[in-house]
Amino acid sequence: MIIQILLSFIISLGITIVMGFVVIPALRRMKAGQSIQEDGPVWHNKKQGTPTMGGIIFITGIIVASLIVGFTEMREGNYSHFFVLVFALIFAMIGFLDDYEKLKKKQNLGLTAKQKFALQILAATAFVLIMQFSEHFTTNIDIYVPFINTTFTMPVFLYYIFAAFVIVGTVNSVNLTDGTDGLSSGVTLPVSVTFIVIAFIWNDVVSGIIAAAITGGLIGFLVFNFYPAKVFMGDTGSLFLGGAVCALAITMDIPLILITLGFVYFIETLSVIIQVSYFKITKGKRVFKMAPLHHHFEMCGWSEYKVFIVFTSVSVLFAIISYFGVYQRYW
């Protein structure tokens, strides 16, 4: 199994780096430049025109690596990783539509919130239905509770609602985290490494292959996305990552681990909810200087490099905590 994980990582890393040197110049020629929010930090204006939709770079590496290394598993009838990839790709397509609309309008406004929400709910529902029809789920589903090492049973129709909530919430949280150079990539790396470790100790070959491909793809992408970024992943990349993280957690039957494993994602989202709610209640007052939270720290004087280091370090800490929440499951 360790050879398959290493192969998936190396192939994804290599393809992603090669794709970066090919795709970034192509995006520049297409003038697929990022439009910067008018109400964002003023120093972000210098990023205007930096190529976006760069998620295509690591998505290619992840898919190719997962399919090549996971071919044997597919031949033996195990299609779990194929479902994960298709699900993540559906979210990438939603992100691509959003990025395309932004480029077409030449502003940082793509699909409406209602359009994105509707498409995400449809994608989440389709994924759970496919998993049930493929006999991954039965009429009753045992939900594993991390840290207390127990399970409780949930009827499948309630699980649909639960899974849709987890998926849409997580995907949008990952999307919100993609706000400074390299941030979403850096925060997601400890998440994917945790999935590798858990898959390895559980002997879950398929999940290990995908998690390794994601890890390789993100490291390769950081070559181009680390501060100062030569390319942004765009919603194409961030929605793909969110979809992949959710799908891995669900297929590994540990969706509740996302509460701790995705701590940074959810803190970012919580900061937006608090900011918007307080603004409406107080008619104009703010809790944070700017939301999501990474922008607040930027406004406090943190460099993008410091934001990346601190937020990624917090993600590493909660990844370690999350590992100790599930490692005893099959002991």
Residue 145 per-residue DSSP state = E
Host H or E run for residue 183: helix 183-201
Task: Please give the pLDDT value at position 63.
Answer: 95
Tokens, residue 73: 């598993």
pLDDT score at 209: 93
Query: Does residue 309 contact residue 264 with C-beta atoms inside 8 Å?
Result: no
Place of tokens 């996305």: 225
Residues of the chain with pLDDT under 70: 33-47, 72-81, 105-110, 132-140, 330-331
Find out whether 80 and 252 touch, Cβ atoms under 8 Å: no
Q: What average pLDDT does the chain have?
A: 87
Within 70-155, where are the H helices?
A: 71-75, 80-105, 113-133
Q: Give the integer Cα–Cα distance in Å for 295 and 180.
A: 8
Sign of CA dihedral 14, 18, 23, 24: positive
284/269 Cα distance (integer angstroms): 20
pLDDT for 292 = 93
181: left (phi over 0), alpha (psi -120 to 50) or beta: beta
Letter string b/e over residues 191-218, b meaning 16 or more CB atoms within 10 A of that residue's CB: bbbbbbbbbbbbebbbbbbbbbbbbbbb
Query: pTM value?
Result: 0.91
pLDDT given at position 40: 56
Token reading at 49: 């025109």
262: its two tokens: 């995705």
- Structure token digits, residue 163: 């899974």
Distance CA 174, CA 242 (A): 5
Q: Which of 56, 55, 66, 54 is nearest to 11 (CA)?
A: 66
Bond before 292 cis per omega within 30 degrees: yes
**CA–CA distance, 153 with 61 (Å, rounded to integer):** 37
